[in-house]
Amino acid sequence: MADWSPARYLQFSDERSRSFRDLVTRLAELLAARDVTPSDVVDLGCGPGHLTEVLRSHWPDTTVTGIDSSPAMIERAREHDRRTTYVEGDIADFAAGRLDVTGADVVVSNAALQWVPEHRDLLPLLRDRARQALAFQVPGNHDAPSHLLLREVAAREPYASALGAPVTRRATDDPVGYADLLAAPGWAVDVWETTYTHVLAGPDPVLRWISATGAQPTLHALEEADPALRARFEKDYGAALREAYPERPYGTPLAFRRVFAIASRT
């Protein structure tokens, strides 16, 4: 897949940041109950670095290392946040200890693990890299209309021939499934889910939202095949999204399910 676009990703930064704020708030509560203040945090899939302030709002003196596989995201993060060390690298490589990054008191990840093949297999490794806690959230909306329509439209011609393979469903687990994977002697597990209803403004907001994240592999593949084909796909997909997510006088509501998990040492 071509590289990510920080500018497009940050179009809905308030809405995208909300789940991370909720995750870190709960994590801070659990650590405070044990009188633990993390001295260092590793942020996996840190993106453009705009969420570091959330970590420092709870732990002002913590040392933060951000890791992301996108060169564009790392470049933007380094430009806008000089206090944090940013490393271009893969989450799987961090889990296996192949990056020049040590473990940390806390390892966090915001909406990134779903992009890692077989991410469930990595969770015990990621948990054990954390001296105090592993905390993450992933989208749980891969059967929402936005994603069902993405797969449906992409399966039509001429898009299917250009893509060469069906658009896959990026499966994430339910809270109990993550609890099963993270539970171990010496660890406490806290899991939950929340469905946010984001009210989006502007024309075709759901298309703009998913074009910056979940639809990126499809759009990049079509762009590579034929830019005109991508434009045609966006027109068809956008029309389907407008029908599934009708605009109201106050904006366009987008229901978005998120799944949260925290494993903390007891």
Contact 194, 258 (CB under 8 A): yes
Kindly list the structural domains of the chain, giving each domain's residue range(s) and its CATH number in brackets, ordered by start. Answer: 6-265 (3.40.50.150)
Q: How many CB atoms lie within 10 A of CB 225?
A: 16
User: What pLDDT does 216 receive?
Assistant: 85
The pLDDT value given to residue 9 = 62
| pLDDT number for residue 10 | 61
Hey, what are 25's tokens? 């708030």
What is the pLDDT at residue 168?
75
The mean pLDDT values, 10 residues at a time, for the chain of 266 residues are: 59 84 97 96 92 93 94 91 93 92 91 90 95 96 93 94 81 94 97 97 93 86 91 96 97 97 96
DSSP string for the chain: -PPP-HHHHGGGHHHHHHHHHHHHHHHHHHHHHTT---SEEEEET-TTSTTHHHHHHH-TT-EEEEEES-HHHHHHHHHH-TTSEEEE--HHHHHTT-SS---EEEEEEES-GGGSTTHHHHHHHHHHHEEEEEEEEEE--TTSHHHHHHHHHHTSTTHHHHH-SPPPP-----HHHHHHHH--TTEEEEEEEEEEEEEE-SSSHHHHHHHTTTTHHHHHHHHHH-HHHHHHHHHHHHHHHHHHSPPBTTBEEEEEEEEEEEEEE-
Query: What is the predicted pLDDT for the residue at 100?
Result: 87
Say if CB 207 and CB 238 are below 8 A apart.
yes
Residue 161 contacts residue 103 (beta carbons within 8 Å): no
pLDDT of residue 215: 86
Question: What is the 3-class SS of 33-53, one letter each residue?
Answer: HCCCCCCEEEEECCCCCCCHH
Q: How far apart are CA 23 and CA 225, in angstroms?
A: 39
Q: What is the pTM of this model?
A: 0.92
